Amino acid sequence: MLERHASRAARRAREFEAFVAGAAGRLLNAATLLTAESPDDNPRARRLLTLSLAHTYACWDRLHGEDPYDRTRRQLATRFARGAWHQHGALGRARPHPASPLAPLTPQERLILVVRLHEGVAEEQTAALLGLSPERVRAICHRATSALLHRSRGPAPAVTATKAMP
């Protein structure tokens, strides 16, 4: 019994380490986009990712073939949705950093844009994940895209330069 427990723990540690080595970079990028922090100084994104990964680690033995990346991503999104609501009033903590490409958007617009376009989750699944209707997800995504494109065509020359690249 003890031996089986120990071998399972060792296997979990090994598999989890491989998973983190492969997936953490992309997830950290997504989390940094969500919190709209500068890519070099992102304590909130790191905390968000750490807590989501801890949840995945705790569920590791009960995944039953489910994709751990998807699990972590869902956890990240729901955690951010809850946390953004709590930090609504805390101006100093939640203020977006100007270096982030999603700085002009609201937290909900960032969340939907990141899940839809950065992670490539389908519209219906995004809607189910966030508890919204698919039409609403499409409308918010459209609005956020328009806001971003409008801004990148207008006053920000740096973004237009990257846009011009093939």
Distance in angstroms (rounded) separating the CA atoms of residues 45 and 24: 12
Using an 8 Å Cβ cutoff, are 115 and 128 in contact? no
Binding span for another protein by CB under 8 A among 46-54, 76-84, 90-98, 123-131: 46-54
Per residue, the 3-state secondary structure of 58-125, as one string, reads HCHHHCCCCCHHHHHHHHHHHHHHHHHHHCCCCHHHHCCCCCCCCCCCCHHHHHHHHHHHHCCCCHHH
Binding span for another protein by CB under 8 A among 48-56, 78-86, 90-98, 122-130: 48-56
**Binding of another protein by 127 (CB under 8 A):** no
Beta bridge partners of residue 41, listed in sequence order: 38
DSSP 147: H
Per-residue contact flags (x/-) with another protein for residues 51 to 70, judged by CB under 8 A = x-xxxxxx-x----------
Comparing CB distances to another protein, the nearer of 72 and 129 is 72
Look at the block and give the residue holding tokens 């101006």: 91
Comparing CB distances to another protein, the nearer of 92 and 120 is 120
Binding span for another protein by CB under 8 A among 27-35, 63-71, 77-85, 123-131: 27-35
Residues lying near another protein in the complex (CB under 8 A) are found at 13, 16-17, 20-21, 24-26, 28-29, 32-33, 39, 46, 49-51, 53-58, 60, 101-102, 113-114, 117-118, 145-146, 148-149, 152, 159, 162-163
